[in-house]
């Protein structure tokens, strides 16, 4: 929990009206299954796109978390929340997500993009109703993407980042399928 709080969870980030991202104390999480769910951002963990963009910005800045401001021209302020070594390792992992993993749809030609996909379940995956009847047995049923939020957080360029972002598409399936392509559009426009 201390690491999540260092990245800004459980605090007001600064801009007036910004929602808080929260992570519960260990005693409030529940059983082992709930602990596992919390470890991957499910359960009682709440994250906003602003928070996840801030996480990407922190990793892109070698572990220095920027203080958010809406004041144009304000002197940038930052605090160290993780070591340069840890941030650089995560940076390389995030780059691999785009070059060889689930975030390939965020790739921008000529720009080294680093990112991380996410897919958050909205409802239980335990189905109590019988599956719908298949009208054409030769065709598999369409997947229900409305049961998941698609996430993608990224920064670019890798070595001298100019932009960090997070995309959340509610009820839109897997992050690599829908949020990563949306992030690519934003990255292309910004760069």
- 94 touches 41 (CB < 8 A): no
Residue of 59, 85, 71 lying closest to 153 (CA atoms): 59
Q: Average pLDDT, whole number, for the chain?
A: 87
Helices (H), the chain: 2-6, 26-29, 32-39, 49-60, 84-100, 180-190
List of residues 6+ apart from 29 with CB closer than 8 A: 35, 38, 43, 44
pLDDT tens digit sequence for 95-104: 999 999 999 9
Share of the chain above pLDDT 90, in %: 52
Domain count, the chain: 1
Q: Which two tokens stand for residue 148?
A: 């998941």
Residue 13's domain comprises 2-129+138-190
pLDDT value at residue 167: 97
- 53 touches 187 (CB < 8 A): no
pTM of the model: 0.84
**How far, in Å, CA of 80 to CA of 83, rounded?**
7
User: Residue 157 belongs to a domain with what CATH number?
Assistant: 3.40.710.10
Is the model more confident about 133 or about 50?
Answer: 50
Distances (CA, A) of 82 to 88, 91, 161: 10, 12, 18
């Amino acid at each position: 929990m201390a690491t999540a709080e260092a990245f800004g969870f459980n605090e007001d980030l600064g801009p007036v009206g910004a929602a808080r991202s929260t992570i519960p104390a260990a005693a409030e999480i529940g059983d082992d299954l709930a602990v596992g769910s919390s470890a991957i951002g499910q359960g009682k963990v709440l994250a906003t796109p602003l928070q996840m963009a801030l996480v990407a910005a922190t990793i892109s800045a070698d572990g220095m978390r920027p203080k958010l401001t809406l004041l144009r021209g304000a002197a940038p302020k930052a605090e160290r929340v993780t070591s340069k070594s840890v941030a650089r390792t995560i940076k390389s992992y995030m780059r691999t997500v785009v070059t060889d993993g689930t975030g390939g749809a965020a790739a921008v030609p000529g720009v080294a993009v680093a990112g991380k996909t996410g897919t958050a379940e909205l409802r239980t995956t335990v189905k109590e109703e019988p599956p719908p009847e298949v009208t054409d047995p030769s065709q598999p049923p369409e997947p229900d993407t409305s049961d998941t939020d698609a996430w993608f957080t990224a920064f670019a360029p890798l070595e001298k980042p100019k932009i960090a972002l997070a995309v959340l598409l509610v009820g839109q399936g897997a992050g690599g399928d829908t949020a990563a392509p949306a992030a690519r559009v934003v990255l292309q426009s910004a760069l």
